[in-house]
């Protein structure tokens, strides 16, 4: 699995996979084309996050578990709060809270991003 493929486990990625499965079943696209579409999704998502997202987010909470395997960090945080500061803003935005969050962090330079 490349660094970018974990975005397929997002809501957007899940929806894309479901839609492609329906198109394959209806014989509207071939499985090979569906894989090319998913590869493009992986690459486009990484490129967009790298070049378009300039906001900074800070978070705090209670660290429940953490793992590091194959250059992937996974953190499970309880009672988390997040604050995002848009680029150019004078201060942070509103605080967002959640009971539990799982954070996955990948260094794409170590693992490799498709097309780079």
CB-based contact 39:1 (threshold 8 Å):
no
CA distances from 97 to 60, 85, 86 (A): 10, 15, 18
Give the separation between CA 71 and CA 112, rounded to whole angstroms.
11
Q: What is the pLDDT of residue 21?
A: 95
Enter the pTM of the model: 0.63
Q: What is the pLDDT of residue 89?
A: 76
Q: What is the pLDDT of residue 9?
A: 75
Q: What is the pLDDT of residue 2?
A: 57
Percent of the chain with pLDDT over 70: 88
What band does 110 get if pLDDT is binned at 50, 70 and 90? low
Of residues 54, 43, 50, 55, the one with CA closest to residue 8: 43
Reported as a single tens digit per residue, the pLDDT across 68-84 is 988 889 999 999 999 99
**Between β-strands 72-85 and 95-106, what pairing exists: parallel, antiparallel or unpaired?**
antiparallel
Q: What is the pLDDT of residue 54?
A: 84
Question: Which residues face 68 on adjacent strands?
Answer: 73
DSSP secondary structure, 71-112, as one string: TEEEEEEEEEEEEEE-TT-SS---EEEEEEEEEEEE-HHHH-
Reported as a single tens digit per residue, the pLDDT across 23-54 is 999 999 999 999 999 989 988 887 887 788 88
């Amino acid at each position: 699995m490349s660094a970018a493929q974990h975005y397929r486990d997002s809501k957007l990625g899940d929806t894309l996979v479901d839609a492609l499965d329906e198109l394959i079943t209806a014989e509207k696209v071939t499985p090979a084309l569906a894989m090319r579409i998913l590869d493009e999704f992986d690459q486009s998502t990484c490129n967009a996050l790298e070049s378009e997202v300039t906001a900074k987010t800070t978070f705090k909470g209670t660290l429940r578990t953490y793992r590091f395997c194959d250059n992937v960090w996974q953190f499970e945080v309880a009672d988390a709060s997040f604050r995002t500061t848009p680029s150019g803003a004078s201060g942070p935005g509103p605080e967002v809270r959640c009971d539990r969050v799982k954070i996955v962090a990948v260094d794409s330079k170590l693992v490799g991003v498709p097309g780079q």
